[in-house]
Amino acid sequence: YSYYDGNTVLYLDGAFQKASEAKIDLYGQSLHYGYAVFEGIRAYMLADGSMKIFKAKEHFDRLKRSCELVHIPYPFNNEELIEATYKVIEANGLTGAYIRPLVFCPPDMSLKAAASSSIMICAWNWGAYLGDKLLRVMTSSYQRPNPESFQIESKSSGLYVNSILASQEAKGQGYDEALLLDINGFVAEGPGANLFFEKKGGLYTPPRGHILPGITRATVIELCHELGIPVVEKFFTVDELKQADAVFYCGTAAEIVGWESLDGQPFGKSWTGSLGRIIQQAYKAKVLEQSIKPESKVA
Ligand code: PMP
């Protein structure tokens, strides 16, 4: 996949420049220790042809909090960053965008907290990250990191080695994606997405504590309230998940994507008849700022 070409423009510390000409220092803490923080955001084209960043404030607020949790300075103004992001989208003529802000640290080989930081924002056209098909998911042999070993609510670069290992393990065994458990053996999340399962007319999702508190997860909970779908946060095991009527992953990149099976075992309901399918349609409407159709409401 080509993320940029000779004409691509990105934002770096207050200025716009060509991606092909932007440089970073090879002696930085971010490259050597994974000491950096990032976001994944999407922008959609609305019916009037304008581009709209979905939940821009929530994403940039999380970027700031992620930095604070791992003591990376955040001297940036989020309103200015959102404005800069719109300029990046426009400068590159994007008609649907995945946006990647990255806060990284200057040259330093010590293990001290960074004294300063830089921010870059780039964007590209990106389709469905996990594809449109239902997912065949494998329970990973890798756990999510212990919250007492890391600031797991910080979307830190280094944390994603865990995601890469889990995802590669699953794909290496012929599955589409991994499912990671927490250190207590409860279901946590995917390498880059949160999950919900449907049982007897309600939706369930793991509570905070061992997961990245996803912005899409929060949006799904909002949609459940709007649509009258009962939703509960609780810890549950893989065995309970395998008894679910249906399951889906949700995330900015993945959006809403249903599961076909877990460890080869299919679920009770077809995706088309599941609550997840209703949420998927409502999510699509929400990002496009269209009203959620009343006929899709649950009685
Ligand atoms: N969990 C992990 C580990 C992730 O990387 C992501 C993607 N940022 C999510 C969950 C979903 O978060 P969001 O809905 O904010 O994209």
Q: Report pTM.
A: 0.96
User: How far is residue 153's CA from residue 108's CA, in Å, rounded to a whole number?
Assistant: 25
* 254 ligand 1 Cβ < 6 A: no
Per-residue pLDDT of the chain (299 residues; tens, 9 = 90+): 789 999 999 999 999 999 999 999 999 999 999 999 999 999 999 999 999 999 999 999 999 999 999 999 999 999 999 999 999 999 999 999 999 999 999 999 999 999 999 999 999 998 766 667 999 999 999 999 999 999 999 999 999 999 999 999 999 999 999 999 999 999 999 999 999 999 999 999 999 999 999 999 999 999 999 999 999 999 999 999 999 999 999 999 999 999 999 999 999 999 999 999 999 999 999 999 998 765 555 54
Atom number in ligand 1 closest to CA 163: 3
**Active-site hit among 55, 64, 155, 286:** 155
Query: Ligand 1 centre and the CA of 127: distance in Å?
Result: 16
What is the Å distance from ligand 1's center to 195 Cα?
10
Residue 216's nearest CA partner among 152, 296, 283 is 283
Instruction: Say whether 171 is catalytic.
Output: no
Domain 9-124, CATH class in plain words: alpha beta
Every domain of the chain and the residues it spans: 9-124, 135-290
Complex ipTM value: 0.99
According to the model, what pLDDT value does residue 296 have? 53
**CATH code for the structural domain at 135-290:** 3.20.10.10
Ligand 1 pocket residue status of 101, Cβ below 6 Å: no
Query: Residue 164 has what pLDDT?
Result: 98
Question: What sign has the CA pseudo-torsion 210, 127, 216, 295?
Answer: negative
